């Protein structure tokens, strides 16, 4: 067993997410293997109360530091990290001049492998311990990302990007060697990759139609059939990001009630289905999200950067569907969870076309940890693994934060009168400099990393 003594943040799953944080100014976190050998939280609470129960246990004392659950990024594009911050005259020139040429490079296994190393190291450096990520339409990109995540024992979910039309030829799914067409081959490749990686260590497979306009009806139908055959697998796609995209999707699938309903009509809405953006919804769309158990990945820095619009928190709460935060790099402007949480606050405040509200710091943090885990179906329900929290039984992924990381942060956090002030100072002023250490739980299948 291992133990850490520091300030501690975790979340009460039964509480209102706006005020669900549980904080220990001087806490103890005890880690150890569960019955299967995976490293989980064994005990957590106030140092004074817990310490007498563990005489002789070696404790790493970290005064002045805050231990918090590892962050969860619900939507990020692995092949777009290198084009983050590319100047362009809107979305289409950005795709044509920067994103598409970069994504084409991932056909190469060697290029994909090198990029996967950098991508995951960058996530971890920013405190992100779980991610639902897009790869490209090249199987090599998926293999490389899974292999690199497995090496780090990181909880990562990805899948082959399904796009059999309306994109440059080099980015479309390819026909198979035995005469199968691109659509059929993309579904065969998806199932092969799913069977190879789903549930291996901490990895999960996501059936990944890029978005309805780049997928034929046959491809969406096949994806829905896969989703029905493999209920433990995830589904990820995009929906209702901007008005042009919605009009395009509607013209291609006019028989569906709405853009979102297109996915439902092809069997692509259920628990563990995650849709990025979800901005321009009506009440029926929100009810559909709730009824199917699908979740929204909110991408505030991307939505602000591209001028896509503002997610409507109040209506989402009213409809009761699940959601969590995401960077959406490279449309998003930062991998940092602090920047994303600040972006979410700005999105919440915006009062054009919806109620402007002030999301509490605890609610912002919850959306990137325990709330995101709930949205992904990784919150321990029905015997599933739990991440995004530090309750007993949760996988032991956590970050060690330094609230004194910069001169201004040190001054501001020293003056914090309560937990909300401390968390909001970190959200507004924080970035990768705050993340002193990111610790990943060892899974039962982990190879020993050497003497420790």
Least distance in Å: CB of 328 to Zn ion?
5
Identify the three-state secondary structure at position 360: coil
Nearer to Zn ion, 184 or 328 (CB): 328
Q: How far apart are CA 189 and CA 199, in angstroms?
A: 17
Least distance in Å: CB of 259 to Zn ion?
15
Nearer to Zn ion, 51 or 91 (CB): 91
Least distance in Å: CB of 77 to Zn ion?
6
Nearer to Zn ion, 276 or 298 (CB): 276
Least distance in Å: CB of 40 to Zn ion?
32
What are the residues binding Zn ion (CB under 5 A)? 276, 328
C-alpha 288: how far from its chain's center?
Answer: 22
Least distance in Å: CB of 75 to Zn ion?
6
Q: DSSP secondary-structure letter at 297?
A: E
| Residue partners of 284: CB distance under 8 A and separation at least 6 | 257, 258, 261
Q: How far apart are CA 55 and CA 57, in angstroms?
A: 6
In the chain, count H helices and then E strands.
17, 15
CA angle 386, 390, 392 (to 5 degrees): 75
Identify the three-state secondary structure at position 291: helix
Nearer to Zn ion, 164 or 328 (CB): 328
Q: How far apart are CA 233 and CA 226, in angstroms?
A: 9
- CA distances 356 to 97, 345, 353, 424, Å, are 36, 10, 9, 18
Least distance in Å: CB of 276 to Zn ion?
5
Nearer to Zn ion, 207 or 434 (CB): 207
The H or E element containing residue 261 is helix 259-265
The H or E element containing residue 366 is helix 361-367
Nearer to Zn ion, 8 or 273 (CB): 273
Least distance in Å: CB of 254 to Zn ion?
24
Nearer to Zn ion, 44 or 276 (CB): 276
- CA distances 134 to 20, 63, 77, Å, are 30, 38, 5
């Amino acid at each position: 067993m291992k133990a850490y003594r520091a300030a501690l943040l975790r979340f009460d799953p039964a509480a209102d997410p706006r005020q669900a944080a549980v904080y220990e100014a001087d806490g103890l976190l005890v880690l150890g293997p569960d019955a299967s050998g995976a490293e989980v939280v064994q005990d957590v609470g106030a140092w004074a109360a817990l310490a007498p129960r563990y005489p002789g246990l070696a404790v790493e004392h970290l005064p002045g530091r805050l231990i918090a659950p590892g962050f969860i990024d619900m939507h990020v594009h692995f092949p777009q990290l290198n084009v983050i911050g590319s100047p362009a005259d809107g979305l289409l020139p950005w795709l044509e001049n920067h994103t598409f040429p970069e994504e084409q490079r991932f056909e190469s296994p060697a290029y994909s492998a090198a990029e996967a190393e950098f991508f995951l190291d960058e996530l971890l450096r920013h405190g992100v311990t779980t991610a639902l990520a897009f790869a490209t339409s090249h199987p090599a990109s998926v293999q490389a990302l899974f292999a690199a995540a497995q090496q780090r024992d990181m909880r990562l979910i990805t899948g082959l990007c399904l796009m059999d039309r309306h994109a440059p030829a080099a980015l479309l799914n390819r026909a198979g060697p035995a005469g199968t067409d691109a659509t059929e081959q993309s579904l065969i490749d998806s199932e092969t990759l799913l069977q190879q990686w789903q549930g291996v260590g901490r990895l999960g497979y996501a059936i990944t139609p890029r978005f309805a306009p780049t997928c034929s009806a046959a491809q969406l139908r096949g994806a829905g059939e896969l989703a029905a055959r493999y209920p433990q697998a995830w589904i990820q796609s995009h929906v209702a990001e901007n008005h042009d995209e919605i009009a395009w999707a509607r013209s291609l699938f006019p028989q569906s009630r709405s853009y979102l309903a297109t996915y439902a009509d092809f069997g692509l809405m259920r628990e563990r289905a995650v849709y990025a953006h979800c901005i321009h919804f009506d009440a029926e769309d929100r009810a559909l999200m709730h009824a199917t158990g699908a979740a929204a990945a909110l991408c505030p820095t991307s939505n602000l950067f591209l001028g896509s619009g503002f997610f409507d928190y109040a209506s989402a709460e009213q409809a009761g569907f699940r959601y969590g935060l995401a960077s959406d790099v490279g449309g998003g402007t930062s991998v940092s969870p602090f920047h994303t949480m600040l972006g979410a606050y700005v999105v919440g405040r915006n009062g054009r076309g919806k109620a402007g509200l002030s999301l509490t710091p605890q609610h912002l943090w919850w959306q990137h940890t325990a709330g995101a885990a709930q949205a992904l179906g990784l919150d321990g329900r029905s015997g599933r693994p739990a991440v995004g929290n530090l309750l007993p039984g949760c996988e032991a992924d956590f970050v060690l934060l330094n609230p004194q990381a910069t001169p201004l942060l040190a001054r501001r956090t020293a003056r914090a009168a309560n937990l909300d002030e401390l968390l909001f100072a970190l959200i507004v002023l924080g970035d990768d400099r705050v993340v002193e250490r990111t610790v990943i739980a060892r899974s039962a299948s982990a190879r020993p990393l050497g003497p420790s």
